[in-house]
Chain A
Amino acid sequence: MNATPENTNGLLRVSDLRTYLDVPSGVVKAVDGVSLEVNRKEAVALVGESGSGKSMTALTIIRLQPVVARILSGEILLNDVDLLKLDTASMCDLRGTEVAMVFQDPMTYLNPVMRAGAQVAEVVLEHQDVSKGEARSQVLDAFERVGIPSPRRVYDSYPHQLSGGMRQRVLIAMAISCRPSLLIADEPTTALDVTIQAQIMDLLAHLREELQNALFLITHDIGLVAEHCDRIYIMYAGQIVEHADTFTLFAEPKHPYTEGLLRSTLSPDKRVEVFETIEGQVPNPTDMPSGCRFHPRCPHVKDICREESPPSLDLGEGRMVACWLYE
C-alpha cells in the first residue's frame, strides 16, 4: 500500500464516479461524474444543498451506499488502491483504520442498547490485537482527546443518557480511535446547537493538527468551512460545478451557483435558507433539466445552457468551473 513516487502527497483520488439509485419513481443520478482529490493532512470541503448528492459521494467512497444504488463508473483510489475493486473483507479492514466516518445525527448513529464505551472499544478490538483492558484504556484516551470531561462515566453510559454534543464527541472518538489517515465528516454539526457546533469544528481542526489526518468535510453551510478548510468543491445536482482554494473561492466565485451560495451566507440574517436566495428549487432528482442542471435557476442563463451540459474548464492553479459563461 505504498504511495507511488510521483504523487507522495495524494491520499484520496476519486475520478468520474457515478452512483445511481433505483427508486420506485425512477432512477436518481445521485452522483453523476464526480472527480475530486484529497491530499494528506489536508482539509477539503464538499459543499452543496441537501439532495445534491454529497452524502452519497461520501458513502460511495467507503462503499456503504444503499442496496438500491448502482455504481456505474469511476475509480476511488485511496493510497493508490482502487476501493471499488477490493473484496468485502479487505474493505472492512480499511474502514476504521485508513478511512473513518463521522455522521450527521449523533442521536440515531449510536446503537441505543450498547454502552458508549463498548461501542468505541469494538473498533479497537476489531482492528488491533489487544486485550479488552488495553482496548478500554485506549478508548478512555480517545475520550480525553476529544474533550469528554469525565471519560469513565461516559464509558459506562448509554447513548440516551448523553447530550447531543457529548454523543457527537463519542462518534468522533470512535472514528479516530484507530488513527485513520482520512476522516470523512458528513454534516457533523447540523444536528447540534450553534455553540456546540463551533466547539465540534474546533475539535476537528485540533485533532487534525494532533493526529495529522486529512479531513473531508461535507456540509451545506459554506460559512462553516471558511476558516477550517484548505480547498472547496461545490456540488450541485450530482455534479461538481466549481473547485478552488478557499481564499480564491470566497474572493472571486465563478459559478453563478457559488455566487448565490455566498450571497446567502453573507446576508445579515444567517438563517435564510439557500433556496430562498437563489431563485427556484432543487431539481427533481428523477427528472433532471437538460443541458446545465442549474439553468432553470441561473440569472445568467444563455441558450446553450439549456441544450448542452457545460464542460469542466480548467482555469489554472487548480481552479475548475463547469459553466458556459467561461467558455
Chain B
Amino acid sequence: MTTSAEPVDHQSSNRGPQWRAIWGAFSQNRAVPIAGSLLLVLILLVLFAPLLAPYDPYALGSGSRLGGHSFRNIMGADNLGRDVFSRLLWGGRVSIFVGFSAAFATTVLGLLVGTISGYLGGWVDDILMRFTETFMVIPRFFLALIIVAFFGASIWNIIFAISILTWPVTARIVRSEFLTLRTRQFVDAAHVIGTKRSTIIFREILPNAIGVVVVNASLLTAQAMLLEAGLSYLGLGDPSLVTWGRMLYEAQPFLRQAWWMAVYPGLGIFLSVLTLNLLGDGLNDVLNPRSSEIHRTGL
C-alpha cells in the first residue's frame, strides 16, 4: 500500500508543526469549539461565584432544612438549610481549581522528567523510566486515598496526592514524543548547522510535542476532578471547603428526602469532566489526525 501511504508521509516529513494543516483541521472540527466554549462558560460561572451566588455557601438557615425548590432557594436547601445553588457555584470553584492545579503540577513535572529522559537518553533515561514504571503499577487511587487519610484532608494534600501519582504517565508521553522527534530530519539538520542544545529543545522539539501535552493536560484535568470528587465522596475532602464531591458525600444519607442535594453537584462534575474529555478527544483528532483511515480498505 505504498501509494496510499504516500500523502501522509508527505505531510510529516515537512519541517516543524504544520500550522496551516492544523488550522484546516480545526475549522472542520466541531467538538473543539463546542467543548471549548462550554468550558469557558463553566469557568466564568464559578469565577464570578461571589457575584452570582445569592447566599453565603456556608451560612446556615439560608433556606429551610431540606427545603425543596423555591424562589428563595432555586435549587433547594440542604440538611443544614444551606442554599444548594450557592454551594454549587462555590463548590465548582474548588473542584475546578483542584482539577487545573493538579493537571498543571503534573504537566510541569512530567514535561521536566520526560524532556530530560527523552533528550539525554542513555543511563539517565534508563533510571528515570524504571522509576516511572514502578510508580505506574501501584494502584493510584488507593495510594491517593492513603496519603490523604494519613496526612490530613487539606486541599493541598489532595492536589499533591493527585499530581504525585499521575506525572509518570505524562513523563512517558513526553519522552516518547521526544524519541520520535529527535530522530526526525529537521532536528538532525539543526544539529549539523551547530544549533545549541537548549535551542533545539525549545525551538524545535517542544513546539512539536506541545500538541500531545495539551491533549494530555485536558484529560488530566478531567481525571483530577474525578479523583478529587471520589476522595471527597469517601469523606476525605477538605472539611473546611465545599466541593462538588463533598456535596455528594453529604447528600448520600438524605437521598430519600432531598434528591436535589445529589443531582445538581453530580451534574456539575459530570458536565465539567465531559467537556474536558470532549475537548481532549477533539484536540487529539485535530493535532494527531488518524492516518489509519487512509490505510483502511472497504469491502
A contacts, CB < 8 Å to B: 21, 23-25, 28, 30, 50-56, 59, 63-69, 88, 92, 104, 187, 284-286
Q: Contact between B11 and A25 (Cβ–Cβ < 8 Å)?
A: yes
- Given A56-B4, A59-B4, A66-B296, 15 more A-B residue pairs with CB atoms under 8 Å apart are A21-B4, A23-B7, A23-B294, A24-B24, A25-B7, A25-B11, A25-B21, A28-B7, A50-B2, A56-B3, A66-B295, A66-B297, A67-B296, A92-B299, A286-B7
Q: How close is A189's CB to chain B, nearest CB, in angstroms?
A: 14
Contact (Cβ within 8 A) B2 A51 = yes
Whole-angstrom distance between the Cβ of A76 and the nearest chain B Cβ: 15
**Distance of A68 Cα from B289 Cα, bound (Å):** 14
Q: What B residues does A92 contact at CB under 8 A?
A: 299
Pairwise interchain contact B3-A55, C-beta atoms closer than 8 A: yes
Known: A25-B11, A285-B10. A66 touches B2 (CB 8 A): no
Q: Are B297 and A53 in contact (CB under 8 A)?
A: no
Number of interface residues of B (CB under 8 A): 20
A30 touches B299 (CB 8 A): no
Q: A24-B24, A24-B25 are in contact. Are A65 and B8 (CB under 8 A)?
A: no
Q: Is the CB of A52 within 8 A of B3?
A: yes
Asked whether A53 and B3 contact (CB < 8 A) given A24-B21, A24-B24, A88-B299, the answer is yes
Contact B7 A21 (CB under 8 A): yes
Q: How far is the CA of A252 from the CA of B29 in the complex (A)?
A: 53
Residue from B21, B24, B293 within 8 A of A67 (CB atoms) = B293
Kindly provide the distance from the CB of A69 to the nearest chain B CB, expressed in whole angstroms: 8
Within 8 A of A (CB), among B258-299: 289, 293-299
Q: List 12 A-B contacts (CB under 8 A).
A: A21-B4, A23-B294, A24-B21, A25-B11, A25-B21, A51-B6, A54-B3, A55-B2, A59-B1, A64-B299, A104-B1, A286-B7
Tell me how far the C-beta of B211 lies from the nearest C-beta in chain A, rounded to whole angstroms.
15
* B11 nearest CB neighbor, chain A only: A25
Contact B2 A67 (CB under 8 A): no
Interface residues of B (CB under 8 A from A): 1-4, 6-8, 10-11, 21, 24-25, 289, 293-299
- Please state if A55 and B1 are interface contacts (CB–CB under 8 Å): yes
Given A24-B24, A25-B21, A104-B2; A67-B297 close (CB under 8 Å): yes
Q: 7 closest pairs, A vs B, by CB?
A: A55-B3, A23-B7, A56-B3, A51-B6, A64-B297, A50-B2, A67-B298
Contacts of A30 in B (CB 8 A): 3-4
Smallest CB–CB gap between B289 and chain A, Å?
A: 6
Please, how many angstroms separate the alpha-carbon atoms of A104 and B2 in the complex? 9
Contact in complex: A68, B3 (CB < 8 Å): no
CA distance A54 to B6 in the complex (A): 12
Q: Which single residue of chain B is at the shortest CB-CB distance from A31?
A: B3
User: Complex formed: what's the CA distance from A28 to B1 in Å?
Assistant: 14
Q: How far is the CA of A28 from the CA of B297 in the complex (A)?
A: 16
B175 to chain A, nearest CB (A): 27
Q: Could you tell me the distance between the alpha carbons of A204 and B11 in the complex, rounded to whole angstroms?
A: 36
Q: How many angstroms between the C-alpha atoms of A313 and B47 in the bound complex?
A: 74
Alpha-carbon distance A75/B207, docked complex (angstroms)? 48
CB-based nearest B residue for A28: B7
Q: Which chain A residues lie closer than 8 Å to B8 at the CB level?
A: 23
A21 to B296, CA, bound (A): 12
Within the assembled complex, what's the spacing in Å between the Cα atoms of A50 and B11? 16
Q: Given the complex, which residues of A lie within 8 Å of B299, measured CB to CB?
A: 64, 88, 92
Q: Are A285 and B297 in contact (CB under 8 A)?
A: no
* Chain A hits for B11, CB < 8 A: 24-25
Cβ contact within 8 Å between B21 and A68: no
Set of chain B residues within 8 Å of A21, measured between Cβ atoms: 4, 7, 294
Which of B6, B11, B21, B294 has most A Cβ within 10 Å? B6
Q: Which residues from chain B contact A54 at a C-beta distance below 8 Å? A: 3
Measured in the bound complex, the distance between the Cα atoms of B295 and A315 in whole Å is: 38
Check B3 against A284 for contact (C-beta < 8 Å): no
**How many Å lie between the Cα of A54 and that of B293 in the bound state?**
20
Which residues in A have their C-beta under 8 angstroms from that of B295? 66
Pick from B6, B7, B24, B297: contact of A50, CB under 8 Å: B6
Docked-complex contact A59 and B7, CB < 8 angstroms: no
- Shortest beta-carbon distance from A168 to chain B in Å: 17
Chain B residue numbers with a CB within 8 Å of A67 are 293, 296-298
- Given known pairs A21-B7, A104-B2, the reply for A65 and B298 (CB within 8 Å) is yes
Contact status A65-B297, CB under 8 Å: yes
A57 to chain B, nearest CB (A): 8
